[in-house]
Amino acid sequence: MSARAVYVRGVGAVTPLGASWQASLTALASGKTAVAQVTEFDVQGFPCTVAAAVPSPLPSCAEYRCPTSIDLDCAPNLQLDRRLALLLPAVLEAWQAANVSAPATRIGVYLGAESGRAPLQSILALSRAAGGGTTFDHQQFGQRARALTARIDASVVSPAAVASTIAKLFGAEGPVQTLSLACASGLSAVIEGARAIRCGVVDVAICGGVGADVEPLMLAGFGKLGALSARGSSCPFDVRRDGFVVGEGAAAVVLAAARGNARVEVLGGGRSLDAYHLTAPDPQGLGAERAMRAALKEAALTHVDYVQAHGTSTPLNDAVEASVLQRIFGASTEAGMPLVSSVKGAVGHWIAGAGAIGLLCAVEAIDSGLVLPTAGLQRPDPKCDLPHVIGHAQQHNIRAAMVNALAFGGANSSLVVGRCR
The pLDDT assigned to 124 comes to 63
Q: Which of 48, 66, 207, 310 is catalytic?
A: 310
Q: 361 an active-site residue?
A: no
Q: 303 an active-site residue?
A: no
Q: Is there a contact between 251 and 357 (Cβ–Cβ < 8 Å)?
A: yes
Q: Is there a contact between 363 and 324 (Cβ–Cβ < 8 Å)?
A: no
Please name each of the domains of the chain with its CATH number.
6-116+158-419 (3.40.47.10), 120-154 (no CATH)
CA angle 294, 384, 305 (to 5 degrees): 50
CA angle 307, 15, 350 (to 5 degrees): 65
Q: Which of 235, 349, 384, 388 is catalytic?
A: 349
pTM equals: 0.91
Quick: pLDDT tens for 81-130. 889 999 999 999 999 999 999 999 999 999 999 876 655 566 666 666 66
Quick: pLDDT tens for 283-332. 999 999 999 999 999 999 999 999 999 999 999 999 999 999 999 998 65
The pLDDT assigned to 19 comes to 96
- The DSSP string of 291-303 is HHHHHHHHHT-S-
CA–chain centroid gap for 358, Å, is: 7
Q: Which of 66, 183, 207, 384 is catalytic?
A: 183
**Does pLDDT of 153 surpass 90?**
no
Question: Is 334 strand, coil or helix?
Answer: coil
Q: How many CA atoms lie within 13 A of 112 on its CB side?
A: 34
The pLDDT assigned to 149 comes to 59
Lowest-pLDDT choice from 19-28, 81-90, 140-149: 140-149
The pLDDT assigned to 123 comes to 62
Q: 349 an active-site residue?
A: yes
Separation CA 317–CA 323 (nearest Å): 10
Q: Is there a contact between 364 and 413 (Cβ–Cβ < 8 Å)?
A: no
